[in-house]
Amino acid sequence: AMEDVCAKFVSQKISKARWRPLPVAALQPPDVFATGSWDNEDNRISIWSVGDLGSVGLNGEYQGEPQLLCDIRHNGDVMDMQFLDQERIVVASSTGAVTVFRHHQNNQTLSANQRWEKAHYHVDQDTSCGGAACTGVICNNPEIVTVGEDGRINLFRADQKDAVRTIDNADSSTLHAVTFLRTTEILTVNSIGQLKIWDLRQQRNEPSQIFSLTGDRVPLHCVDRHPNQQHIVATGGQDGMLSIWDIRQGTMPVSLLNAHEAEMWEVHFHPSSPDHLFTCSEDGSLWHWDTSTDISEKPSFLHQGGRSTTYLSHNTINQSVVSAWLSNDPTKDRMEITNLIPNQTLSVNTLDILGPCLVYGTDAEAIYVNRQLLA
């Protein structure tokens, strides 16, 4: 429900928001997240805490509102951001640099721990080097993979000065996002509607598999992999379409779902309840896709909110493995989709979901936290 959402205007456009990962076997919900800004003269990485829910602080302020713990200047737009572990955050910059920041929790400060200055760069006709925006980063401690507008893929190892592996000109178009498929394989999406698998063990500088949208080759902007069933991959495109791919078969998406009206900037499976998926878009909306509901039991949902709650039919082909995302079983062949932002205006650039908690950031310079989304 919307009343559980806390908003805070932060005087900077938010490009990325990420929950700090929880320690193994933690019982508490996440309470600290990081944000990065873009398009400011002075961009920042900030760490926020959301205290106990509902309790009132000393000055009478509502504690649910995120409180700034510390922040640090960041050179260039924050293009992507991932926690490497509980203390370190890897940040991709529009300058082409990749920086590891350390959050010192004892004295609430941030410091730059390590930096690869020209991780991504262009070699122009005069062979001088200019930075190229690093568009995506993904971590699997200690490994860090980055992709960029230069079509380059870098594999770094934290605490190691030089790149472990670099694939120059891996893609002739812009790479928009990257994620791990398995420990040695990565997935990338690019600006001509392709999804590629790269096996980092192989010395060949070519993808091991290429998947592609048919028709108009709409650019893909984001990618996420199902946390339990690794063959299921979701991507989001420039036209706001959500594509579900089964990378075991075919070269085309298994289903295409009409979603947003503009660029889908992020897509995330819920890490522990992967029947739920979240997407956000330039059109200012954030959608919750729920395949866990059995429609036959609650058919009355339809009239609730006009456009905000709708059921879409899967456009699927026959699947052998039963997964809500690939299934075409007619009774389960539907999903409930809810727009979590009713009065949308400016772009929702980022979202992150962990446990019952959702955080998202917008171009309207606000961050929103919902701590009871999947409670």
Partner 1 sequence: AAVPSQVVPGADPSARQLCFAWGPAEVLVCETLFGSRGGFLSRGDSGSGWRLLPGALTGCVAGTGEGGPSSSRLFVVRRDQDIYIQTLRKLFNESHGIFIGLQRSEEELAGKSRKAQLVQVSKNYRSVIRACMEDMHQAAISTRDPALHSQYSTQVSILSAMELIWNLCEILFVEAAAAGPLLLRLLDWVRLHVCDVDNMVREVLSSENPSKHELFWNVVDIFVLQGRMDEARHLLSKEASANPTSVNMYKILDDLMKKMPVPSLGNTQTLTEMELKWQHWHEECQRYLQDGTFASNSHMESICKILLGDEDAILEKKELMTTWYHFLVTRLLYSHPTVKPMELRMDLFLGGESGPEPLDTILMAAFEFEMHQVIKECSIALSNWWFVAHLTDLLDHCKLLQSHNLYFGSNMREFLLLEYASGLFSHHSLWQLGVDYFDHCPEYGRVYLELHIERIPLNTEQKALKVLRICEQRQMHEQVRSICKIMAMKALRNNRLGSALSWSIRAKDAAFATLISDRFLKDYCERGCFSDLDLIDNLGPSMLLSDRLTFLGKYREFHRLYGEKRFSEAAKLLLMLMTAHIAPCSFWMTLLTDALPLLEQKEVIFSAEQTYELMRCLEDLTAGKSDKQKLQDDDVETMKVEMLRLALARNLARVIVKEGTLEGS
Where does this chain bind partner 1 (CB under 8 A)?
9, 11-13, 38-41, 77, 79, 94, 122-125, 130, 132-133, 135, 149-151, 169, 171-174, 191-192, 194, 210, 212, 214-217, 219, 238, 262-263, 282, 343, 345-347, 363-366
31 versus 149: smaller Cβ distance to partner 1: 149
CB neighbours of residue 341 within 10 Å = 20
Paired residues of 116 in beta bridges: 98
Tally Cβ neighbours within 10 Å of residue 162.
8
Beta-ladder partners of 313: 334
When the beta carbons of 121 and 156 are compared against partner 1, the nearer one is 121
Nearer to partner 1, 125 or 320 (CB): 125
- Least Å distance, CB 219 to partner 1, is 7
Q: How far is the CB of 27 from partner 1 (least distance, A)?
A: 35
d(CA 73, CA 45): 6
- The residue to which tokens 């106990």 are assigned: 52
Q: Which is nearer to partner 1, 52 or 261 (CB)?
A: 261
Least distance (Å) from partner 1 to the CB of residue 357?
A: 24
Name residues whose C-beta falls within 8 Å of residue 170's C-beta, 6 or more positions apart in sequence: 147, 151, 152, 153, 188, 198, 205, 207
Contact 93, 77 (CB under 8 A): yes
Neighbouring C-beta atoms of residue 6, cutoff 10 Å: 18
Shortest Å, Cβ 38 to partner 1:
8
Nearer to partner 1, 49 or 113 (CB): 49
Q: How far is the CB of 240 from partner 1 (least distance, A)?
A: 10
Torsion angle, CA of 222/278/349/255, rounded to 10 degrees?
40
* Cβ 210 to partner 1 shortest distance, Å: 7
Residue nearer to partner 1 on the CB measure, 47 or 132: 132
| Residue 306, burial from CB neighbour count under 10 angstroms (0-12, 13-18, 19+) | exposed
